[in-house]
A and B are shown apart, each in its own frame.
Chain A
């Protein structure tokens, strides 16, 4: 029986294991076990884990067939013997060397279900970026104290905290079987079941944003998108049904920031999935009516361009007519004009033709504006390069170049 079980799901992490496991070894707190759950890696991760476990006997390896990091972590929790559970991903690090010691002491002193630490991000060179995540959004703590679960905010970054194992088991809190977004669901379930949470101004966790190309690039197949949207609904439900409505509303704002970002706005699959999961007139977004309508209008306009039948056109036109956009400050300018075009068109062909004309006009104007801007800049640059100031100082620049070469 140890004090802390650290759980690490491992999948094809050979590039990172040295870094992550060594960061744990550097922790001053040593009454711990590291449970590495290999999720069916196909590279030599297992060999590396074996090497470490032979050298350090606090390291245990569990193997499972590839089933995702959620199931891997659950497997780890089920096999853990520590009073408290910490999580370390195979491509991340623990940072402050006394972090676990400090947080464990607080946990025992308060018989806490959960203790919060801080989170930092790693850059491409695996160095810590000091100023990231130092805000309310990531529940950053500058001094010791206590917070109520609602003050934690959006249930992100579960891994910067440690959890009492018996508490997790009492409420059967585990990771859902989703390819994306399991973390917020897990942490939301924790937050609704606990009360006073001790917090410490120590950085437990270093998040490697660049491993695997960064999180945003990962949400890309249909199933991953579906799970991502599903996790939002699950999290909203957990929060809404347990008195955490204000947190839920904040998370809904994040949801729309994600949906209406330029990368995702042209993704018709996301639209289909969302409508499927939440419904066209979803009550979830009563307080985000403008954002939701914007999202629907934008996608329906894209959908129109690939439609073939007049029936579907009528359906979409009806949806447009039923929306009240008069007070929607997000639907303006070009988007509003396209909305009007749809409402005024009588059939699909006329509608498409008008939309195309409008779009072409807009693009042509933008094209001309940009050409003018570029020409202006070119003239400015030429003036600078032909100015006497520039010509006079030529010898200085030649000298500098010569100096640099040698």
Chain B
């Protein structure tokens, strides 16, 4: 069997697909198969895929009706026959030595999973920027060269990038774990990640930035459209995964706060025209939390801000009202910090005027003022 199956779900990425495919076909590890799932693209993506497939017989192109990233990835994973699995994003770029390096490490350590680092590429500024969420230096420092599983890194569970493309997976391990991407939802990476993480017994960390994550304005996770409301269901699914693996009690306070924080953060990023839709979904979900026994007593474990957000969602009768209530909250916070700043500045001012330096030089100022 081939060493690595690369699965690439493709949807309307004609601008970036070429660069993506170039980075895969030119991998230094060439014993690979490349499964491209065209998820009902309406632009030239399919043409580009076919062009590449004609020139490289490692590439297979499959077309399906548009079902979303999760459905397309799941389909590709089903067809993957290689020893290892790599899940590529069609608008990003993989370092040419990535597969070889991570494959070798995985073989050497008999790993279920190899995690590696990624770098951010901001298109409009043509800038490459490292950020801790994809560099995961805290985790890397902690595990070093050691093989670990989730129990060894409980303090870092939420400090690992959930993105599928920053990992090399042992294919049989993934199939056995039954981990899949939840179809019909965006932010689907989260659920797959935790299922894989809690099943993996041997994980290795490859400390090099081997992936370039492209940032541009129209990708689904930055567009801020209706689908952002999927975050609510995703957070609920994440909680279900923690319950499934017996980790809920240990992490529930953290999970409650995280859910409210992330859902509200997505809500703020959603375009104004979609906010009412998102708000309705939030309110529906939050109200059901009050009756769900999983959430017994959760209000007390929420931070003051998260609790305010939650209560404002529940108590408002419209999105507009909710936005006003949060604006009031934000202003009050600003005012509090301004008051603190004011106090501090006054104190400083008084200290200066009471200081010896100032007092000693009073005669000098008197003379100057008389002039």
Contact = CB atoms under 8 A, between A and B. Distances in A.
Interface stretch (A43-51, A243-251, A289-297, A364-372): A364-372
A390 B341 contact: no
Contacts of B327: 360
Nearest to B339: A370
B353 A356 contact: no
Interface string A365-399: 01100110110011011001100111011001100
Interface string A330-355: 00000000000000000011001100
A78 interface: no
Contacts of B335: 363, 366-367, 370
B360 interface: yes
A360 B328 contact: yes
Contacts of B320: 353
Contact of A381 (B342, B345, B364): B345
27 contacts: A306-B311, A306-B315, A308-B315, A308-B317, A348-B317, A349-B317, A352-B321, A353-B321, A356-B325, A356-B328, A357-B324, A359-B328, A360-B328, A363-B331, A367-B334, A370-B338, A370-B342, A374-B338, A381-B345, A381-B348, A384-B349, A384-B352, A389-B357, A389-B361, A390-B358, A392-B361, A393-B361
Nearest to B331: A363
A305 interface: yes
Contacts of A381: 345, 348-349, 352
B365 interface: yes
B318 interface: yes
Cβ-closest 10 pairs across A and B: A389-B361, A393-B357, A377-B345, A356-B324, A370-B338, A363-B331, A306-B315, A384-B352, A374-B341, A374-B342
Contacts of B342: 370, 373-374, 377
A381 B328 CA distance: 31
Contact of B331 (A360, A378, A380, A397): A360
Given A352-B321, A377-B342, A392 B364 contact: yes
Contacts of A306: 311, 315
A389 B358 CA distance: 7
B328 A396 contact: no
Interface of B: 311, 315, 317-318, 320-321, 324-325, 327-328, 331-332, 334-335, 338-339, 341-342, 345-346, 348-349, 352-353, 356-358, 360-361, 364-365
B349 A380 contact: yes
B361 A367 contact: no
B365 A352 contact: no
B365 A377 contact: no
Contacts of B358: 384, 389-390, 393
A341 to B, nearest CB: 14
Given A373-B342, A388-B364, 18 more contacts: A305-B315, A305-B325, A348-B317, A352-B317, A353-B320, A356-B321, A356-B324, A360-B328, A367-B334, A370-B342, A381-B345, A381-B352, A384-B349, A384-B358, A389-B357, A389-B364, A390-B361, A393-B358
Nearest to A389: B361
Contacts of A353: 320-321, 324
Interface string A70-113: 00000000000000000000000000000000000000000000
Contacts of B356: 393, 396
A396 B360 CA distance: 10
Contacts of A371: 338
Nearest to A349: B317
Contacts of A356: 321, 324-325, 328
Contacts of A360: 324, 327-328, 331
A89 B341 CA distance: 41
Contacts of A305: 315, 325
A305 B314 CA distance: 11
A384 B317 CA distance: 52
Interface string A294-317: 000000000001101000000000
A308 B316 CA distance: 8
Contacts of A377: 342, 345-346, 348-349
Contacts of B332: 363
Contacts of B315: 305-306, 308
Contacts of B328: 356, 359-360, 363
B365 A389 contact: yes
Contacts of A397: 357
Most buried by B among A353, A389, A392: A389
Given A380-B349, A389-B357, A364 B317 contact: no
